Chains A and B, each alone.
Chain A
Amino acid sequence: MIDLIKKLMLTPSVSGREEKIREVIKNEVLPYADEVYTDNMGNLIARKKGNGKKIMFCAHMDEIGFFVTGIGSNGNINVSPVGGINALSATFQDVISENGVCGILATNSSKELPKYEKLYIDIGAKTKKQAEKKVQIGDFFVCVPKFKKLLNQRYVGRPFDDRIGCAILCEAIKQVNSDNDLYFVFSVQEEVGSRGSKPATFAIAPDIGIALDVTATAEKDGDSSMDVKLGAGCTIKIKDPSVISSPELVKEMRKIAENEKIKYQNEILPFGGTDASVMQIAGKGARVSVISIPSSFIHTSCEMIDMGDVKEALKLTVALANKL
């Protein structure tokens, strides 16, 4: 699974430009699904048919990054952020374009917290003309993907958000053995406001919707208002500002986790949101919750996860698919 995670992370695809990551995931799930298709908005949907409950699992394929909006006379590249970029982390980092052009994200003042409008990319071009040969308006850049092992089972890099969820779904589809009608959705454009999961949910009309995504941790992100620890198991989301999980579903998820001896934590996230918020109200509506993978330093270039939590999240995903 480590190789798969790494492969998914090293395939840059920002919101609205998920073509490359979609191809990788498609090849991964194709042998295990009854049908695999891409909808109008670009969501990749893999189905394992069954006569039981219709369950939609959803992880988003897109990542945060930048769109090129212009090229200055000095060859500097103007950019606009896609999704909630952490400017503090992104500034003075290596970046890479969809076509492999390398550069750094810079700002004219290194003394204060950078503002989005002041950020630009320097690809080493001396003139506008030179830059225009390499980069076009509308191209995307991302902070260079990274994947490194640290002590214990901890890994650091980007974008764990949400390639780790994608990897778990790719793995789960190989392991499930269920009568339920299972949809594994790899959604687009989550980072710009959970846009892709809306049409996917409408078309599928699931009974139950479960998103897989990362969540913040208390001890490292310094938010004492939540109670999630890295390495203490996957989480079952009770609430975040975008969604209140179905209490019946949460109860069932806990029961299954306990029966299967899966390590889980209860999660109430004081900020952010996931595709679950949209799955709950799109179409006819669904009972939803989220299996989260604790991650410190989300949306920076050094998101950190504990592989132990990932294993628990995978076990819970498979158990829910089989037993819900």
Chain B
Amino acid sequence: MKELLNKLSLEFGPSGCEDRVREAIKEEIKDYIVGKESFVDPLGNYIIHIGGNGPKLMISAHMDEVGFMVKGITDEGLLKFGTVGGIDPICLGAKRVISESGVRGNIVMKPIHLLSPSERGQAPKIKNLSIDIGASTKKEAEELTFVGDYFTFDSDYVEYGEGFIKGKALDDRLGCAIMCQLIKDIYEGKIEPKYDTYFAFTTREEIGYSGAYGASMRIRPQYAIVIESKAVADIYGVDEDSEVARLGDGVIISFADRGAIYDHTFVKHIKAIADKNEIKNQTNRYISGGNDSMHIQKNAEGARVSTLSCASRYIHSQSDVIHEDDLFATYETVKEVLKNDRPN
């Protein structure tokens, strides 16, 4: 699963431009969904109906990642840009970026000796940043890019320390990788789902518009599990009350975030299954963030939702960091939920 995460995380896929991620996923699972209904809906969601006996369950993860969009090109050939999804500008100075067509660039900012005293020590503003692609005139730049072109972080996948993984777009390619693995497991007979199971690889989560909105309206599930990564701060200088959750402490079974209060019965059911199978799990100790579940919960006749996440440090930067134990704990938890009957 780590090899697949490596591969998927390097694919280019900011919100609204998920084609390459989707193609990679299709290629990965094509031999495992023979005879199953699968389709790409108008919003670009890739939906696979695996089936199974029981209530309708939608398992989803989003394919898109945060990135940048070119908003203008200066006479000097620099690209002015906006962010696609939420990126803290403090992560941006001097970072490598790459465009959809493979043009490489660097985010430039004023050197420190030119900063006014009031600007020093402050986070940069996006409007004062630009992307340098090595062009020296507007015309040169226009040969390589255009207004509306996408960029993402240009970053490697690295395994380091004891079980740590660093990369871009681990949010939420880790969810995509886990779903691919589950689809393979079901094909190989390792899981016999006790739900009528749908997998939805969704688009546009990072901009809140959410392909999951359309996907859940179409699937109309009774139960839904969103597989995600969750921003945590288990780092030096943050008090224990605010760290949200910890890397390496297992799957986060959330009880609530800013977007959804998760179904109490379903959450307790999942936690009991994780405990019974001795899968390391934790809950969020701070209420923050939101994801596709906020739409899935309220759409159509409504659904009983849960989010299972891996803790991620430095999320939405070029260096998301997760722990492999959490990745496997999340995978194992969904797997065991699928094998068990629905909650009473």
A149 to chain B, nearest CB (A): 34
Determine how close the nearest CB of chain B comes to the CB of A182; give it in whole angstroms: 20
CA distance A70 to B287 in the complex (A): 10
The answer to the question of A198 belonging to the interface, with a C-beta cut-off of 8 Å to chain B, is yes
Binding-face segment, B18-26, B191-199, B255-263? B255-263
A203/B287 in contact, CB under 8 A: no
Q: Is B143 an interface residue (CB 8 A)?
A: no
Q: Is B261 within 8 A of A15, CB to CB?
A: yes
* Closest beta carbon of chain B to A167's beta carbon, Å: 24
Q: Which of A41, A80, A137, A203 contacts B297 (CB 8 A)?
A: A41
With an 8 A cutoff between CB atoms, is B166 at the interface? no
A203–B301 contact, CB under 8 A? Answer: yes
Within 8 A of A (CB), among B303-322: 303-304
Total cross-chain contacts (CB, 8 A): 74
Contact status A192-B264, CB under 8 Å: no
Known: A16-B262, A19-B264, A137-B255. A199 touches B285 (CB 8 A): no
**A225 CB–B CB distance under 8 Å:** no
Cβ contact within 8 Å between A70 and B240: yes
A115 to B102, CA, bound (A): 48
A175 CB to nearest B CB, Å: 29
Cβ of B283 and Cβ of A137 under 8 Å apart?
Answer: yes
- Please pick, from B240, B255, B285, B301, the residue contacting A40 in the complex, using a CB distance under 8 A: B301
Question: Shortest Cβ distance from A187 into chain B, in angstroms?
Answer: 11
When the two chains form the complex, which single residue of A16, A41, A82, A138 contacts B302, counting CB atoms closer than 8 Å?
A41
Q: Count A-side interface residues using an 8 Å CB cutoff.
A: 27
Give residues of chain B (261-283) contacting chain A, Cβ–Cβ below 8 Å.
261-264, 267, 283
Scoring A residues 4 to 43 as 1 if CB is less than 8 Å from chain B, else 0, what string do you get?
0000000000011101000000000000000000011111
Tell me if A202 is interfacial: C-beta within 8 Å of chain B. Answer: yes
B contact residues around A155 at 8 Å (CB): none
Residue pair B261, A69 in contact (C-beta under 8 Å): no
Known A-B contacts A41-B297, A67-B256; A199 and B302 likewise in contact (beta carbons under 8 Å): yes
CB of A146 within 8 Å of the partner chain: no
Given contacts A69-B286, A137-B255, A137-B283, contact A40 B262 (CB under 8 A): no
Which residues from A are CB-within-8-Å of B283?
Answer: 137-138
Contact of A69 with B222 at beta-carbon distance under 8 Å, contacts A41-B302, A189-B261, A203-B301 already known: no
* Residues from chain B with Cβ under 8 Å of A82 in the complex: 256, 261
Give bound CA distance, A133 to B304, whole Å. Answer: 29
Q: Which residues of B contact A15 (CB under 8 A)?
A: 261
Does A78 make an interface contact (CB < 8 A)?
yes
Q: A82-B261, A203-B302 are in contact. List 5 more A-B contacts (CB 8 A).
A: A16-B261, A19-B264, A41-B302, A41-B303, A137-B283
Which residues of B pack against A, CB within 8 Å?
222, 240-241, 255-256, 260-264, 267, 283-287, 297-304
